[in-house]
Amino acid sequence: MDPATEPNPSTPDGEHRARVLIVDDHALVRGALLELIDAQPDLKTCAEAATIDEAERAILTYEPDVVILDLTLSREDGRELLKRLAQRPNPPPVLVLSMLEEALYATELLALGARGFLNKSCPPAEILTALRSVLAGRVALSGAATERLVKRLAKGRETRGSALNAAMRADTERLTPREREVLGLIGRAHSTREIADALGCAPKTVDSHKRAICEKLGLDTTDVLLRYAIAHHEEQGGVACESAGGAAAESAAASAVRLG
């Protein structure tokens, strides 16, 4: 049976449970993830897929809230799905779960639109924490990947010079002070609710600011806005990711929150 053609029949419906699509070419891995996810009170598996085409059909059919994606799908590259999703309006966030070395691939995958990257060897609890972080609009990386990313960003700032910084500064001068504040909070991986709480306004007001920022900067989607905001934040000296404990670890090069 095509794993993407039918939802998991054992999963009870519930509006409070986030819908998860599992994309992996190994049935044993899909089964283990399904069992882990469906045991959670706030998560449920809505469908499974073994190929990129199956994943695209499942996304259209079941509208998952988050996608778990393996990078090596038989003879396919999971990065192709990230590229296709980037062309869609409002695609679901993607958490990459792979046997590949996360510290080597994290930067590239975040640039392609992934919201997180974990190695398959990580504990089950770390996968659940990452899923919830991605669903909340945050970036989820393990400690090893975060450390390498921070070092790469610091080195890049030393070697790139000020050209990119100057260009972004010129762009953001079009924004109002409040819009620049919202952009900065997005770049630190805060969710809409967290931004609203920080600014003392309603989430709908934050969404209005996001639309205004996209219009002024020529950004097509919220995913493009997120990547721009993260890049802008990096140029200002930091990057934010989410940890199991939710605590921030400050460093001279960047601000990073580690999983695990």
CATH dotted code for 18-141: 3.40.50.2300
Spans of all domains in the chain:
18-141, 148-256
Instruction: Give the number of residues written for the chain.
Output: 260
The closest of 162, 168, 179 to 214, measured between CA atoms, is 179
pTM given for the model: 0.58
CATH class of 148-256: mainly alpha
Q: Are 107 and 149 in contact (CB under 8 A)?
A: yes
Which of 105-109, 155-159, 208-212 is the least confident region?
Answer: 155-159
Q: Is the pLDDT of residue 179 over 60?
A: yes
- Tell me the sheet residues that pair with 77: 72
Q: How far apart are CA 260 and CA 258, in angstroms?
A: 6
Mean predicted lDDT score pLDDT of the chain: 76
Nearest-CA neighbor of 66 among 114, 124, 127, 135? 135
Q: State residue 100's pLDDT score.
A: 77
Say if 18-141 and 148-256 have the same CATH topology.
no
Q: Tell me: pLDDT of 71 over 80.
A: yes
Mean pLDDT of 15-30: 92
| pLDDT of 153 higher than 50 | yes
Q: Give the pairing of strands 94-98 and 116-119.
A: parallel
- Taking only the tens place, the pLDDT of each residue in 203-241 is 999 999 998 888 887 676 676 677 778 777 766 655 444
- Nearest 10 degrees: CA dihedral of 128, 133, 139, 144? -40
Q: Output 157 or 89, whichever has higher pLDDT.
A: 89
pLDDT in tens, 128-139: 999 998 998 888
Q: What is the pLDDT of residues 23-51, one digit of tens each?
A: 999 999 999 999 999 999 999 999 999 99
